[in-house]
Every structure is written in C-alpha cells, then in structure tokens.
A and B are shown apart, each in its own frame.
Chain A
Amino acid sequence: MNETTQDTRTSKIEELSNISSQVRRDIVRMVHACQSGHPGASLGCTDFFVALYFHYLKHNSDFNLSGEGEDMFFLSNGHISPVWYSVLARSGYFPLQELATFRKINSRLQGHPATEEGLPGIRIASGSLGQGLSVAVGAAQAKKLHQDPNTVYVLMGDGEQQEGQIWEAAMYAAHYKIDNLIATLDYNGQQIDGPVDEVMSLKNIQAKWKAFGWDVIESNGNDLSNLTAAIELAQSRTRQGKPVINIMSTEMGYGVDFMVGTHKWHGIAPNDQQLADALSQLEETLGDY
C-alpha cells in the first residue's frame, strides 16, 4: 500500500469511526427511551453496519423494495434492530426523529424489523431466528436469474447457528453456487442464557462452514481497519463459485465499558444513571436525534 492509499484508508476509518460513535449513542438512547430492546449485540455490530451502509453497500435511500440494480442487506438476528434503524435513519431512509418511536405504540420501528407499515430499508420481517439466511439466499438466487450483478449481504447471530434452518440454507447455497452472497456471522460468544459455549457450543464453527462448501474468512468486527479489509476481501471472493462467510468476532456491548463482553446486556435497557454513564463514553459526532 502506498502512502496516499494509506492516508485515504486512515481518513475513511476516521470517518466511519465518527459515525459509529453517534450510532452507539442512538442505540443506548433508543433502548433507554422505551426501557426495552437489545443493546448488547447492537453495540457490538455497530462498526459493521456503519462500514456497510456508509461505504460498501451499493444502496439507495430512496427505497425500492425489489432491490433491483443495487446490493441488498438482510438482518437475520432481528433483535439487534436498534443499530439497523439508526444506520438506516442516518443514511436518509427515514427521518431521524422517528428513532424516538422505537418499540412504542403506533411506530414503524417495531421491536423486531417488520414490513407491515412500510418502513423504508426493511424488506422482510425477522426476529424469529434462523430464517434470514434462507431469505438472503433466495434473494441472491433471484438476482442470478435476473442477471443482476449486485451482491446480497446477510448478518446472522452466533446463537442463531443453533437453528437447523441455517444449515439447510448453507447446504442449498453451496449446492447452487450462490456466489453473489456475503454472509456475516456476529461471533460475540454470548446468547440470552449465557456464553454460547455453555448454552450450546458451536465447537469449530469455521470448520462447519468450510465443510458445508463455503469460502470462510475471519475478521475483528470492532477494529475498523481489520473489518474494512475483511469486507473488501469478502467482496473479492464473490463470483468464484462459492458463497462467502465472514466470521466476525465482536464484543457484545462494545463502546460502553460496563456493557462489554457480558450476556447480561443482551436484552435489557439502561436506567437514567447508566444512560448518562454510557453517553459520557460516546462522543456526539453528528448530533443526537
């Protein structure tokens, strides 16, 4: 890498990092306002969402549900909706102020993503786990049929790997050479009842995906330099006859010291004092909603 490229990369990472800080503020504020939701993995995946929506995903905030002529993103682990809503709003899909309605009555921002009220950016409901990979594979298969050269992205949780449907979809994608698909696995090691290794160990998850015929790469989802390089690597590995999966290590709760690395913050909201503490750790870079 020459110096100019290095400078460009550094400035890109700084820019993404600034956005991440604001998105993390949005997440804790949204979850605090309704006193419910899932802050832990939302914070852990913030850098991924920001990198995707603000740099790598070819998308249009003038939302077209069909996704024709653009990349598509699907969220399988729908409970981390706060990070998605924040990133969608800050990408211009809907007014920022709408984030204040999260999980409240008459809102388009349902606890888990839904299409019923037509929230721009959402193409299918998710929340009941294990279904998003099948949907993304179907969407990628359709892109192939339509000879649409764009890519389909999907994010899954690690606890979700315990669902059988994931492996049905994994088998299909390799069999049909769905190589216009980049799956990402949020490997934070925690689920509601405790560490994944204690609840139901995934053992060697990399080997499992490889054995299913996928091209497997690994990354650190909370190091933007490492993560952006991994996304670029994943993109370069598409259209080679295999579906691609990025096994992305993250820390649940990343960015808020008392939420880091514990399943305790999987699905609870901060109180007023904890909110103040969290916000003091996250710079308001783009203005709160």
Chain B
Amino acid sequence: MTKYTFSEKQDTRSGFGAGLLELGRTNPKVVALCADLTGSLKMGDFKKEFPDRFFQVGIAEANMMGLAAGMSISGLIPFTGTFANFSTGRVYDQIRQSIAYSEKNVKICASHAGVTLGEDGATHQILEDLGMMRMLPNMTVINPCDFNQTKAATIAIADYHGPVYLRFGRPKVPIFTPEDQKFEVGKAVRFTEGNDVSIFATGHLLWHAIEAEARLADRGISAEVINIHTIKPLDETAILESISKTKCAVTAEEHQLNGGLGDSIAQLLARYQPTPQEMVAVNDQFGESGKPAELMEKYGLSTGDIFDSVLKVIERK
C-alpha cells in the first residue's frame, strides 16, 4: 500500500491564489497583473485586499509582459496571470527580450496548462509551454503537483531572484503534500524509495505516479517516485543518484514528448549515464474537447500508462 493518501481535492490554481494572497500580506514589493482572467487564476482575493497593487491589463498579454518587465526595474516583483497558452506561445518574443534576456525579476504564472483544461479544447490546451520556457536562458521553470505545493512554490519564487515560469492547472486534484512544506527551487522531492525503477513525474502526473507505484508494489515491483517540480534547473544529482540504483527510468508529464521533462532527463542521462527510459507524454498531437479524466486517458497520461511503461522499461534493462 502507498503511504500517500488524500482526503481533499483542490485545484492547483487555487494554491497559486492562496500563495499570492499570502505574499500580498508579507511582501510589499509583490504586485500582480492579470489579462482578464482574474477569476480563473484565483487572483480575486489579492485584488480585493490589495487593489493598489493589482493591475487589470485587459486582453493584452504582450503589453502585460512588457509592463511587468518595466515594473520590475524599480524593485517591484510582478506576478503575471493568464492561461499557460497566453503566458508563453502568444508572448514568447516579449518574454525572450524584455524578461529573459534582460534578466527581469518577473514571475510568469500560468494556469490551465495541458489537456486537463478540458472542454475548451486544443486552442487553449497548451502542451508545449515547458519546452518553450526551458529553452530560454535565464528562465526557471516550475510545475508543482498539488494545491499545497503550488502555494508553497508561489511564495518561494518571490524570494528567488530572476525570471520564473510557474505552471499549474484547472481541475481539482488530490492534495497529498504537506501544508507546511518548504519549497526549494531546483530540489527534487522523493516520494517513495524503490530499487527497480525510477519514476520521474511533474505536475498533475505525480498523483498518477503514486497510484502506479501502489499497483506496481502489488506486483512485487519497487518503484522510486520522484517529484521533479522544477524542470529547470534540473536536479541532476537526485536523478543520477536514483538511476545509479534502479538502472531505468519512466518520465511522466502533461506535456508534449518533445521538449518537456522526459526530454530534459533523456538529455541528462545520454550525457552521464545512458539508461533505458520510457516517456509518458503526449506524442506530437494537439488535444481536444472533453472531460479532464477522459482526455488524460485518451492521450496516454493515465496511471495505467505509467504502470505499463514501467513494465516495458524494466524489460529493457
């Protein structure tokens, strides 16, 4: 049986909203900008309590990125909020020049990432954002796994100088990490210890990895589940240490196979410790309308997909 259980489900975007509100109370330098999605991003409490530090920019994401960069120059710490699609692809050049290259202390906070956005369909379901953002020099990329971790990450990045991309999602998902956790940027978190396979998961896939670990244990397979909440900088030490023990890896993410966590880890392993690896990710496809759970199933992002990938990779050792 797994040690991890949950009694409550909550959306990770609400973790962001709670973290932002707390930052409002503790750090006067924090300001928030939103492109007409205040409710969706759960920024309403911050707006209500700190109206002078909240800037509604309308449906104008490119301007929002420039404004945030400009505000940061004076020492403010701007948090921008919109959907992941409009936080990255739509404004890539603005982020590249005005934020990443210029090393501006802007926190790009992106909700509704991946297929779990659901019914709105592929126009809004970005699956390329981690790849785009991790390619940018100076950019830190974080994808926490539940409400508590998203809240902790939101609070932590205010004290982490430099451009950060913080990715979270729409659906209610299990809360299984501690409420009082300290979030360390770039530090992987081991959930279970195991000897037969390393499962590196990020974001919503963490809970599925934990479910898969329990099913694998029933089969006598001992899986080490590691939360890679920071895609960049990657915790290379933790990954290589685990691999030196298990000799095979499964990666799991709600993202394209190209450019995401699996790619990052494959790159690391190819350089230092060539290892059989299976990747649970979307394989070069756009999403579609549907319920989050249906989409996770259809696009190969379920607990069963992780389970099957483990069996497959162990055969390849």
Interface bin, chain B:
20 to 34
A contact residues around B101 at 8 Å (CB): 114-116, 125
Q: Are B98 and A131 in contact (CB under 8 A)?
A: yes
Q: Are B97 and A142 in contact (CB under 8 A)?
A: no
B contact residues around A148 at 8 Å (CB): 74
**Closest CB pairs A-B (n = 3):** A134-B66, A138-B70, A168-B63
The stretch from B52-60, B158-166, B284-292 touching chain A is B52-60
Which applies to chain B's interface (DSSP): helix, strand, loop or mixed?
helix
Q: A68-B74, A139-B74, A172-B67 are in contact. Are A131 and B97 (CB under 8 A)?
A: yes
- With A and B bound together, what is the CA distance between A219 and B63 in angstroms? 27
- Shortest Cβ distance from residue B230 to the other chain A in the assembled complex, whole angstroms: 23
- Shortest Cβ distance from residue A143 to the other chain B in the assembled complex, whole angstroms: 7
Q: A127-B97, A165-B94, A168-B62 are in contact. Are A141 and B73 (CB under 8 A)?
A: no
Determine whether B71 belongs to the interface, using a CB cutoff of 8 Å to chain A. yes
Binary CB contact string for chain B from 74 to 92 against chain A (1 if under 8 A, 0 otherwise):
1110100000000000000
- With A and B bound together, what is the CA distance between A231 and B58 in angstroms? 31
A-B contact pairs, 13 of them (CB 8 A): A66-B73, A68-B74, A115-B103, A116-B103, A124-B69, A131-B97, A134-B67, A135-B69, A137-B70, A138-B78, A145-B52, A165-B63, A168-B63
- Shortest Cβ distance from residue B118 to the other chain A in the assembled complex, whole angstroms: 29
Determine whether A128 belongs to the interface, using a CB cutoff of 8 Å to chain B. yes
Q: Are B68 and A138 in contact (CB under 8 A)?
A: yes
Determine whether B93 belongs to the interface, using a CB cutoff of 8 Å to chain A. yes
Chain B positions within 8 Å of A, measured between CB atoms, are 31, 52-53, 55, 57-58, 60, 62-63, 65-76, 78, 93-94, 96-98, 101-104
- Shortest Cβ distance from residue A72 to the other chain B in the assembled complex, whole angstroms: 8
- With A and B bound together, what is the CA distance between A24 and B286 in angstroms? 54
- Shortest Cβ distance from residue B9 to the other chain A in the assembled complex, whole angstroms: 37
A contact residues around B65 at 8 Å (CB): 134
Q: Are A133 and B76 in contact (CB under 8 A)?
A: no
Interface bin, chain A:
35 or more
- With A and B bound together, what is the CA distance between A50 and B98 in angstroms? 26
Determine whether A111 belongs to the interface, using a CB cutoff of 8 Å to chain B. no
Q: Are B70 and A142 in contact (CB under 8 A)?
A: yes
Q: Are B74 and A143 in contact (CB under 8 A)?
A: yes
Q: Are A141 and B97 in contact (CB under 8 A)?
A: no
- State which of B74, B94, B96 has its C-beta within 8 Å of the C-beta of A146: B74
Among A64-119, those with CB < 8 Å from B are 65-68, 72, 74, 114-116
Q: Are B69 and A138 in contact (CB under 8 A)?
A: yes
Given known contacts A114-B101, A138-B70, A139-B70, what 8 new A-B pairs fall within 8 Å (CB)?
A: A126-B97, A132-B66, A135-B70, A139-B71, A140-B70, A141-B55, A141-B67, A142-B74
Q: Are B104 and A124 in contact (CB under 8 A)?
A: yes
Q: Are A145 and B53 in contact (CB under 8 A)?
A: yes
- With A and B bound together, what is the CA distance between A65 and B70 in angstroms? 11
- With A and B bound together, what is the CA distance between A3 and B69 in angstroms? 47
A contact residues around B62 at 8 Å (CB): 130-131, 134, 164-165, 168
- With A and B bound together, what is the CA distance between A135 and B64 in angstroms? 9
Residue in B closest to A176 when the chains form the complex, CB atoms: B55
- With A and B bound together, what is the CA distance between A175 and B93 in angstroms? 25
Q: A115-B103, A135-B98 are in contact. Are A141 and B70 (CB under 8 A)?
A: yes
- Shortest Cβ distance from residue A94 to the other chain B in the assembled complex, whole angstroms: 18
Residue in A closest to B101 when the chains form the complex, CB atoms: A125
Among A225-247, those with CB < 8 Å from B are none
B contact residues around A171 at 8 Å (CB): 58, 60, 63
- With A and B bound together, what is the CA distance between A128 and B63 in angstroms? 14
- Shortest Cβ distance from residue A145 to the other chain B in the assembled complex, whole angstroms: 7
B contact residues around A138 at 8 Å (CB): 66-73, 78
- With A and B bound together, what is the CA distance between A140 and B60 in angstroms? 18
